[in-house]
Amino acid sequence: MLIQAAAICLLYSSRAVAQSGSSSETDLGTGIATTLTGSNTASVTLNGGNYVAVTSRITYASNGETITFTSTGTSYSRPTDLSSVLANATGTSTGRNSTSATQTLLVGGTAASSGNSSSSIATATTSSARPTNTVPCNGYPEFCTRSYSNITHVCAHNSPFNRPGNIASNQELPVLSQLNDGVRMLQFQVHDQNGTLWLCHTSCELLNAGPLETYLQTVAEWMQRNPYDVVTILMGNYDVLPPDRFVEPVRNSGLLQYVYTPPKVPMSIADWPTIGSMLLQSQRLVMMLDYEADQNEIPWLLDEFSYVWETPFSPTEPSFPCTVERPPDQPEDMSRERLYMANHNLNLEVAIAGASLLIPASNALNVTNGLEGEGSAGWAVANCTSDWNRPPNYLLVDYYNIGSFNGSIFQVAANANGVSYDRDSCCDTTQRDFSSGAVTVMRPASSLLLALVAGTFLIFVW
């Protein structure tokens, strides 16, 4: 019975929406599993022990007009004194002007603030030579003056789902390790369980990673310790909930003070600010919702597909075409002006209890997350760069720490970004803490526990 229930649950990809306008049904004895395409999605609820498909209408926001935000809605009101945020790696604060958000990220010499707008990194006025910036923004000093839209960010697919022995898991290491290692985008799906938002993979009976608020609190505590990093969170609205349901967990977690509020919707790649200016304004959390976002009501909860398009998701073939799948029917000229995500997580299709299931292809991770060769992340990024004249903004992967060498996916991103990557920094070995200037050595990660024994998939539901 457990295997049958899991089979029904896993019929749904972690982000199950495709593009044409058809549907199909499979009767597995314990309920009806429905796979929908087009502008629909499917969710699964437990009804007296049976899994029953519940469908809801999904619509994509129209990009035909631009909306400029004139109010902050439910945004957090930020303090102007950012000295506690902009501390350098030695634990001392940089120069600041207490009457404005003017700061400097320049370290290594005497510098005075010039009073420039906080929308850009402040320049230094000094009689000596201008010092070199040594503070890493998102891990690299070069990123401080680079646009958010001009960086390839490594994204942990289904970030919270790292349960050993559960085939629904997509990661080996927890979110703190992901962030410490350099993951800068966290993606996952959210389910409504009796009025509380939980992190569940397809079904809370299959894999439950706890409340959304608890997970976000962990991220908030990390961001407090790491003031030079911009993080992106993409939430999957699995049950198609009203967007205001997501406000309280974000507020209670402590993350609301960091959210980025865009000036308008949609935005082209040229509209995005630099990483440095996002840090200076303490707007260093880009929060996205895949469906049902309403930025007129909640400006900081971004409608994903007004800003980002995605390549085909849940692929089972290592060809990884760099084509637009969502939003559907988006004109090419518009796609060229938007951020984009390369879904580079290879899946295996297996049959259990008469059902066809998709699970991470763990046996191919050394290639899929590798640096070179057909089907590798390096190869796919090169193809995307050729097709679109720029690399992906987000590289979504399973088991980010495993590849042709540990952390090879970060080397792929570094190559795309034109920076040098320290291979010894991965994985799960160090914890950066800029508030004290300390680097704490952590216990090495345990080996990956694969749920594959002699061709039999074992499920342990915790």
Total structural domains within the chain: 1
Please check the confidence at residue 50 and state whether its pLDDT lies above 90: no
Please name which of 239, 174, 253, 230 lies closest in space to residue 428, comparing C-alpha atoms: 174
**Residue 59 included in any domain:** no
266 preceded by a cis bond (ω within 30 of 0): yes
Cα angle 312-374-315, degrees, rounded to a multiple of 5? 20
Active-site position among 153, 157, 191, 344: 157
User: Mean pLDDT over residues 64-72, rounded?
Assistant: 63
Confidence band (pLDDT; 50, 70, 90) for 130?
Answer: low
Give the integer Cα–Cα distance in Å for 60 and 326: 9
Region of residue 108 (left: phi > 0; alpha: psi -120 to 50; beta: else): left
Tokens 């004139």 label which residue?
70
Higher pLDDT, 249 or 115: 249
Does 369 reside within a domain? yes
Q: Output the pLDDT for position 110.
A: 29
Please, which residues bridge with residue 432 across strands?
439
- Per-residue pLDDT at 457 exceeds 80: no
* 289/455: higher pLDDT: 289
Question: 246-250, 303-307, 356-360, 389-393: lowest mean pLDDT where?
Answer: 356-360
Residue 451's pLDDT is: 35
CATH number of the domain residue 435 falls in: 3.20.20.190
Give the per-residue SS3 of 237-250.
ECCCCCHHHHHHHH
pLDDT of res. 202: 83
- Phi first, then psi: give them for residue 216, nearest 5 degrees: -65, -35
Structure confidence at residue 57 as a pLDDT band (50, 70, 90): low
Q: Which residue has the higher pLDDT, 334 or 30?
A: 334
DSSP 3-state assignment of 364? Answer: helix
Q: For residue range 367-394, what is the model confidence (pLDDT) as tens digits?
A: 999 999 999 999 999 999 999 999 999 9
Q: pLDDT at position 167, please? A: 81
The pLDDT assigned to 240 comes to: 95
Assess if residue 194 is contained within a domain: yes
Q: Is 88 inside any structural domain? A: no
Sequence length of the chain is 462
Q: Give pLDDT, residue 429.
A: 67
> Residue 129 falls within a domain, yes or no?
no
Q: Is residue 234 part of a domain?
A: yes
Half-sphere exposure of 53 (CA within 13 A, CB side): 22
Q: Which of 153, 191, 201, 344 is catalytic?
A: 201
Question: For residue 204, what are its two tokens?
Answer: 């809370």
Write the single-letter amino acid at 314.
S
Residue 436: inside a domain:
yes
Instruction: Give mean pLDDT, residues 40-58.
Output: 37
pLDDT at position 133 is 59
Residue 12 tokens, joined? 């749904």
- Is 341 in a helix, a strand, or coil? strand
pLDDT at 114: 30
**What are 424-444's pLDDT values in tens digits?**
889 976 544 444 434 343 444
User: What contacts 82, CB < 8 A, 6 or more positions away?
Assistant: 96, 101, 103, 280, 282
Model pLDDT, residue 27: 29
Quick check: is 60 in a domain?
no
Q: What is the per-residue pLDDT across 189-227, written as a single tens digit (0 to 9) for each?
A: 999 999 999 999 888 888 899 999 999 999 999 999 999
Q: What is the mean pLDDT of residues 407-436?
A: 81
* Full domain range(s) for residue 305: 144-441
Examine the residue annotation and report whether 157 is marked as an active-site residue of this protein: yes
With contact defined as beta carbons under 8 Å apart, do 192 and 237 qualify?
Answer: no
Of the listed ranges 335-339, 416-420, 451-455, the one predicted with least confidence: 451-455
Please report which residue ranges of 182-303 form alpha helices under DSSP H: 212-225, 247-253, 275-280
pLDDT of residue 85: 35
Q: Which residue has the tokens 């290594």?
A: 108
